[in-house]
């Protein structure tokens, strides 16, 4: 079976959920080979990769690979593409993953598909394009297909792979060493799931009215075990930190449930959330464009609706 390379996303030695999703996708199309960049792979991480189908685990354990922003990861993958002739390369459609994918495409003279939300036989991808306005089926016709898949597009399913480890030494170009990461500042993770990986996201917009009032959005998210997001109007007003912005110039999320409270539904916001499986909108304006997109809509004042909803959910726990 032909090998499909999956670039592993990991933090503090822990494999991120999106990688398990990519392995699950790869398993349905060939033999998954996980590619771990950087030092610090643990026995637990290896076991997890194998548990979700990795037949091979390529480990490029040099610190250089992670100390120099994204270019080394693209060079590592390009080297593996040349050496192993994989059928395809899958990366997560995160900001970093997409940059790696673009650079890898140039290096290997291959086609690249970003923001895939599904992948089928023949590497035909369901792709969300034009800021999420249109869904198309795309296929790479040149080189090795490189596909950046959105987190939460596939449910991860365990299916044991052989997990055979192979060390990889990558010789980085001077260009790849041109920019170096000088400091990493740990974000307070808190109890909430990471925004792009969360199965449930509750976002607040200008309608929330103030930074203090975001407490009701957080309370609803916590009652559901979800993450908190915000529209750009809310992050620009500094009511909520910018790293939680959802949309064209923020994060792209694709959760099972997205609740938009006090958000009008501008195209730039939709671009980051419209592939959510179920969308609930809470807005006092019945004409708000978000209702065109919503599976369920509540016309009302979020200051009343959101706390009532939270209370009801907490009661049923
Ligand atoms: P508004 O459009 O002002 O909507 C507020 C909504 O809240 C209204 O529908 C109103 O009826 C409702 N409301 C008010 N009070 C209440 C209440 N008490 N109860 C219930 N409902 C209430 N935006 C993003 O979100 N993400 C992006 O990444 C992004 N990128 C952009 C990039 C570019 C290049 C540009 C030009 C714009 C971008 N924007 C982005 C901005 C975008 O165009 C909108 O301005 C923004 O999404 C609006 O945010 P909002 O819906 O919170 O505010």
Q: Which pLDDT does position 129 carry in this prediction?
A: 79
DSSP H helices, the chain, are: 17-27, 43-51, 64-67, 71-84, 95-108, 214-224, 232-236, 267-270, 290-293, 302-316
Strand-pairing partners, residue 32, are: 4
Going from the Cα of 265 to the center of ligand 1, the distance in angstroms, rounded, reads: 6
Q: Is 251 in the pocket of ligand 1 (CB under 6 A)?
A: no
3-state SS, residue 249: coil
**DSSP letter assigned to residue 212:** T
* DSSP-derived secondary structure for 299-310: ES-HHHHHHHHH
Q: Kindly give the parts of the chain with pLDDT less than 50.
A: none
Q: Is 213 in the pocket of ligand 1 (CB under 6 A)?
A: no
Separation of alpha carbons 148 and 113, rounded Å: 6
Tokens (6 digits) for 299? 């016309």
Separation of alpha carbons 236 and 291, rounded Å: 23
Q: Which pLDDT does position 131 carry in this prediction?
A: 67
Q: Which residue has the least CA distance to atom 52 on ligand 1?
A: 205
Q: Which pLDDT does position 168 carry in this prediction?
A: 96
Q: Residues 184-197: pLDDT tens digits? A: 887 665 789 989 88
**DSSP letter assigned to residue 193:** P
* Helix, strand, coil percentages, rounded to 5, for the chain: 35, 25, 40
Domains (range + CATH), the chain: 3-177 (3.40.50.620), 200-316 (3.40.50.1220)
Q: Is 28 in the pocket of ligand 1 (CB under 6 A)?
A: no
Q: Which pLDDT does position 189 carry in this prediction?
A: 59
3-state SS, residue 281: strand
Q: Is 297 in the pocket of ligand 1 (CB under 6 A)?
A: no
Q: Which pLDDT does position 186 carry in this prediction?
A: 75
Separation of alpha carbons 281 and 22, rounded Å: 30
Q: How far apart are the first and last CA of the chain?
A: 46
Q: Relative to the CA of 290, which ligand 1 atom is closest?
A: 9
Q: What is the pTM of this model?
A: 0.79
Q: Which pLDDT does position 94 carry in this prediction?
A: 87
Q: Is 268 in the pocket of ligand 1 (CB under 6 A)?
A: yes
């Amino acid at each position: 079976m032909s090998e499909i390379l999956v670039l592993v996303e990991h933090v503090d030695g822990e494999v991120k959920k999106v990688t398990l999703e990519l392995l699950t996708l790869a398993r349905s199309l060939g033999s998954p080979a996980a590619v771990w960049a950087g030092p610090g792979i643990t026995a637990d991480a290896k076991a997890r990769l194998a548990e979700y189908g990795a037949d091979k685990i390529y480990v490029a354990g040099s610190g250089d690979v992670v100390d120099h922003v994204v270019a080394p990861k693209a060079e590592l993958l390009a080297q593996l593409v040349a050496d192993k002739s994989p059928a395809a390369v899958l990366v997560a459609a995160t900001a970093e993953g997409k940059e790696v994918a673009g650079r890898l495409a140039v290096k290997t003279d291959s086609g690249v598909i970003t923001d895939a939300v599904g992948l089928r036989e023949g590497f035909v991808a369901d792709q969300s394009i034009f800021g999420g306005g249109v869904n198309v089926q795309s296929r790479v016709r040149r080189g090795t297909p490189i596909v950046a898949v959105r987190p939460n597009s596939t449910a991860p399913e365990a299916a044991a792979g052989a997990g055979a480890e192979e060390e990889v030494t990558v010789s980085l170009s001077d260009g790849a060493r041109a920019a170096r990461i000088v400091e990493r500042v740990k974000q307070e993770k808190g109890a909430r799931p990471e925004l792009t990986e969360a199965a449930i996201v509750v976002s607040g917009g200008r309608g929330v009215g103030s930074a203090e009032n975001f407490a009701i959005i957080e309370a609803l998210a916590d009652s559901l075990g979800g993450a908190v997001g915000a529209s750009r109007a809310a992050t620009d007003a500094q009511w909520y930190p910018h790293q939680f912005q959802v949309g064209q110039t923020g994060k792209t999320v694709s959760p099972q449930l997205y609740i938009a409270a006090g958000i009008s539904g501008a195209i730039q916001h939709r671009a980051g959330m419209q592939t959510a499986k179920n969308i609930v909108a809470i807005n006092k304006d019945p004409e708000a464009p978000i209702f065109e997109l919503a599976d369920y809509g509540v016309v009302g004042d979020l200051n009343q609706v959101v706390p009532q909803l939270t209370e009801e959910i907490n009661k049923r726990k």
